[in-house]
Chain A
């Protein structure tokens, strides 16, 4: 057992998870605090028959990542706030063209260049609404180093399964901290590969609406099809037919909506009898767990809902929390992003209060404890 345990940085665990999932292509651009992911992939991919390329900018990195995936390789890029902004148009392209890929965003203080070495959770909404147009969004929020590895594997699985980009969001604290983790052996974690067509190339429809998610053929293997960022028909070619546009735009949302239970994942602690609920992700959820444990020692009925999938939003779990709690506290390293989603779901069933911090410092357990005690 001891041999498999390793002290690893969050960003290292991310690269390790990507490789475990079978990632064979990485395109990226240097940016703090995500760069370690690129550095490791540049060393490891060539050893395993994979390809690494440092592109000329963030936009090109996202584009090349999509290109790599269309060639049939599981593809990854990693970035941080400003780079995530630059990637948005191409990210939307991947949503509409349904090309699987994983984007790591190690969140840092913003707006603009902001505070590159300071932690932040201010890209929660960008992960959902960053690119224009209605589009599906899956974003995962690991909080522990082991979880970054596991969730990066899950990100690839969801991406391949649902033919859509998946964003992994974590803050600088989790990205740069080190914890002992167990590297999984092959077979320990599920690894999903995209479905490939087995039909005659003549009959292949890359956006066949008979399937919610059609198989995706790699380029260069006999299925000569067309991919465009224009609204398209089931054969992939552009269309001005309003009915076809409507069907396709709804289908790419429906494939997520119909599978919420498969995509959503939460970690709950002390929620059974909780009267004071806390909703938090990433490093903030670790502060929250510390505070919940401290509150329980004082017999205060506090509990933590920690989503590992923040998009689609865990409406069901938050709704249940709102039913049983008198208050939900939402600590987040931004000026109020998740808190409004929690308010939407709670819809007046309980009080919802935020704790917000944008000074480059983590939310300290004492801040959360103070509020817990106020409501106890």
Chain B
């Protein structure tokens, strides 16, 4: 079993970050969202962040239900606009530590414009894009990250639209920390989140996740574990190895790890430094 290869860490008290009375969560058996959340909570613990300062904002979709389960200041908003609500919150109260939980449809389709401009401003927030190439909440329609040829309830003949590369998009738009992880590589994801939470500016972490119920069933991937194995064996390659491996081993694979990290002025700091300083002179 692929899962057995992962070394289990010391027992971790997830409960202190969760609203236990709101569980069980709504995610389907085999969905990777809960695994991603576990890595996030461990990263938050690594950074010793205060629950009173943490603010998780989401839009609409399966991943966007995450804020309901975590014991922070939490805001579940409307489809695609989590970035904009979060921008208002962060600018109004810069002491908040912002985390956005969004999906490939929420962030790349209906929220695409806000995603781009949030990255451009380099406002301090961690954006986690749970990327499972499908609209799960509405029952399995193709999304902007669905591969060409894939079957969805609105692409019964196979999807003809080329997918976005979320990380390239984030980088091009100006995000100063861009990384990709997976719901399989949980310890690596924890490290990535830890780094991202320590970064000042817009940090985007795309997490390759799986939706066995909709994407898997329609695309002849038999179950959750098969999809997980697929992420591990066929889907991705570590950024540390990508240059060392022969081309045939990396072709068509998404690169995992921290892909882009630069230091640039952060929006709220710039606001104080440039605008407020001049206005109050």
Contact = CB atoms under 8 A, between A and B. Distances in A.
Do any CB atoms of chain A lie under 8 A from CB atoms of chain B in the complex?
yes
Interface in B18-60: 19, 22, 51-53, 55, 57
Contacts of A60: 81, 83-84, 87, 113-114, 117
A68 interface: yes
Interface in B114-129: 114, 116-117
A72 B92 contact: yes
Contacts of A224: 51-52, 71-74
B259 interface: no
A204 B26 CA distance: 25
A221 B51 CA distance: 10
B81 A227 contact: no
A180 interface: no
B160 interface: no
A93 B73 CA distance: 17
B275 interface: yes
Interface in A116-168: none
Contact of B88 (A47, A71, A93, A225): A71
Given A63-B77, A238-B68, A220 B88 contact: no
Interface string A30-64: 00000000000001001100011101110111011
Nearest to A47: B279
Contacts of B92: 24-25, 51, 67-69, 71-73, 75
B138 interface: no
B84 A67 contact: yes
A3 B176 CA distance: 51
Contact of B75 (A61, A70, A238): A70
A360 interface: no
A250 interface: no
Contact of B91 (A43, A68, A222): A68
A237 B19 CA distance: 11
A52 B114 CA distance: 17
B93 A228 contact: no
Contacts of B75: 67, 70, 219, 226-228
Interface string B62-82: 000001100111111110010
B276 interface: yes
Contact of B76 (A25, A221, A229): A229
Contacts of B22: 237
Contacts of A222: 52
Interface string A232-264: 000001100000000000000000000000000
Given A224-B72, A229-B77, A53 B91 contact: yes
A107 interface: no
Interface string B267-281: 000010001101110
A69 B89 CA distance: 8
Interface residues of B, number: 41
A247 B64 CA distance: 26
A63 B81 contact: yes
B76 A63 contact: no
Task: Specify the main secondary structure of chain A where it touches its partner.
Answer: mixed
A66 B72 CA distance: 18
A218 B52 CA distance: 11
Nearest to B110: A59
A225 B84 contact: no
Nearest to B120: A56
B226 to A, nearest CB: 32
Given A89-B78, A237-B22, A67 B89 contact: yes
A224 B72 CA distance: 5
A230 interface: yes
A70 B89 contact: yes
A90 interface: yes
Interface string A203-228: 00000000000000011111011111
B152 interface: no
B154 interface: no
A228 B68 contact: yes
A105 interface: no
A237 B22 CA distance: 8
Contacts of B271: 46, 51
A90 B116 CA distance: 20
Given A46-B279, A56-B113, A228-B76, A237 B68 contact: yes
Contact of A67 (B19, B68, B74, B88): B88
Most buried by B among A218, A221, A229: A229
A65 interface: yes
B117 A56 contact: yes
Given A70-B89, A90-B81, A237-B22, A226 B67 contact: yes
B55 A219 contact: yes
A122 to B, nearest CB: 26
B85 interface: yes
A173 interface: no
A238 B75 CA distance: 12
Contact of A57 (B52, B89, B113): B113
Nearest to A43: B279
A66 B88 contact: yes
B170 interface: no
A72 to B, nearest CB: 7
A25 B85 CA distance: 13
Interface of B: 19, 22, 51-53, 55, 57, 67-68, 71-78, 81, 83-93, 95-96, 113-114, 116-117, 271, 275-276, 278-280
16 contacts: A43-B279, A46-B275, A46-B276, A46-B279, A59-B81, A60-B114, A60-B117, A63-B81, A67-B87, A67-B88, A70-B75, A71-B93, A73-B92, A224-B74, A227-B75, A228-B68
Closest 9 CB pairs of A and B: A67-B88, A64-B88, A71-B92, A63-B84, A46-B279, A60-B84, A71-B93, A228-B76, A56-B117
